[in-house]
Amino acid sequence: LDLQTMEWSCPTQQGEIPTPHAGHAGVTVGENWFIVGGGDNKSGASETVVLNMSTLAWSAVTSVQGRVSVASEGLSLVVSSNDGEDVLVSFGGYNGRYNNEVNVLKPSHKSTLQSKINENSIPDSVFAVPNATNATRDSEPELGAGQEGKIWEITVDNAYPTVLDLRRWTWSKLEAKTGDEPS
């Protein structure tokens, strides 16, 4: 989108352009746009791809096999910081079944996605929801990055946000404090 003229264009791209798919999630880190998940209603996209916005060159960052959560449609994706490094954190999605896995990618290392299995169970109130930019639902969850390396997601059926602490890899609910209401 040209912000001066408010007109869309389709610029020439370099590299291997990804196959068409829907239900993916994307975030930017610096000048790179990372696209994770999505699919074609038959199977999930197995590659995490990145588009360098300066050169418009596509490249595959990772590839996964089988029905894993990062090859899911409708997953949530945020950028956060862990030990001073940018990390991509994905949650949920659907690829034949709903899942509640958390996967982390350190884009600076182009490492493989790692599933984080927690000793503490994930709360029952947490469920897979579409990315906040997916406009196909009537009511959308709110996604964001909080203080101290925590990500949070407010689910539609939950009165309190559920938080994943990226340092401890534990889930908790944010409880409302009692007292005077804000003015």
Residue 88: per-residue pLDDT = 87
Q: What is Dmax (Cα atoms) for the chain? A: 57
Whole-model pTM: value is 0.62
Residue 92: per-residue pLDDT = 87
* Neighbouring-strand partners of residue 151: 145, 164
Residue 152: per-residue pLDDT = 43
Domains and CATH numbers, the chain: 22-173 (2.120.10.80)
Segments of the chain scoring below 50 in pLDDT: 110-159
Residue 113: per-residue pLDDT = 36
- Which residue reads 């994930």 in tokens? 122
Residue 183: per-residue pLDDT = 57
Residue 179: per-residue pLDDT = 61
Angle at 20 (CA atoms; ends 41, 97), nearest 5 degrees? 25
Contact by Cβ (8 Å): 70, 113:
yes
Angle at 11 (CA atoms; ends 70, 54), nearest 5 degrees? 70
Residue 107: per-residue pLDDT = 78
